[in-house]
């Protein structure tokens, strides 16, 4: 069974970190997304950092969930970035074309106006 640990913590009053450990796939994707969206909705937070240092695998479901969370953050007036992606996680984010958008807090696309489901 796939395991994922989600550990949210504060860095100052306006930055929330969400450290993940394990694998993010179809069986843990909801837990992954919930951990991030809970941080986005936290009062007074204007930036969320998703720390993937201890994540050993992500799949397409995880990438989609991450992009939905980024969209939700933008709609909420919050920025979301990914930190410490490496090995297979970094390669998956790069191959899917989302690496720059999720690691650069100043990415120029207006993600709030995008529909993550393409509608």
The pLDDT tens digits of the residues spanning 24-78 come to 999 999 999 999 999 999 888 999 999 999 999 999 999 999 999 999 999 999 9
Flag whether pLDDT at 119 surpasses 50.
no
**Whole-number average pLDDT of the chain:** 88
Is the Cβ–Cβ distance between 18 and 50 less than 8 Å?
A: yes
Cβ neighbours for 18, distance < 8 A, ≥ 6 positions apart: 6, 7, 8, 35, 36, 39, 48, 49, 50, 51
Domain boundaries along the sequence of the chain:
4-113
Confidence of residue 105 (pLDDT cuts 50, 70, 90): low
Q: What is the fold, at CATH topology level, of the domain defined by 4-113?
A: Transcription Regulator spoIIAA (3.30.750)
Give residue 106's pLDDT.
63
């Amino acid at each position: 069974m796939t395991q994922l640990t989600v550990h949210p913590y504060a860095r100052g009053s306006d930055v929330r970190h969400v450290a993940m450990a394990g694998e993010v796939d179809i069986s843990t994707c909801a837990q992954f997304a919930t951990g991030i969206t809970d941080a986005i909705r936290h009062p007074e937070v204007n930036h969320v950092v998703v720390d993937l240092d201890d994540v050993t695998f992500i799949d397409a479901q995880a990438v989609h969930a991450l992009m939905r969370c980024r969209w939700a953050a933008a709609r909420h007036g919050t920025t979301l970035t990914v930190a410490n992606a490496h090995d297979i996680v970094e390669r998956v984010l790069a191959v899917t074309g989302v690496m720059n958008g999720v690691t650069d807090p100043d990415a120029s696309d207006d993600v709030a106006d995008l529909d993550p489901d393409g509608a």
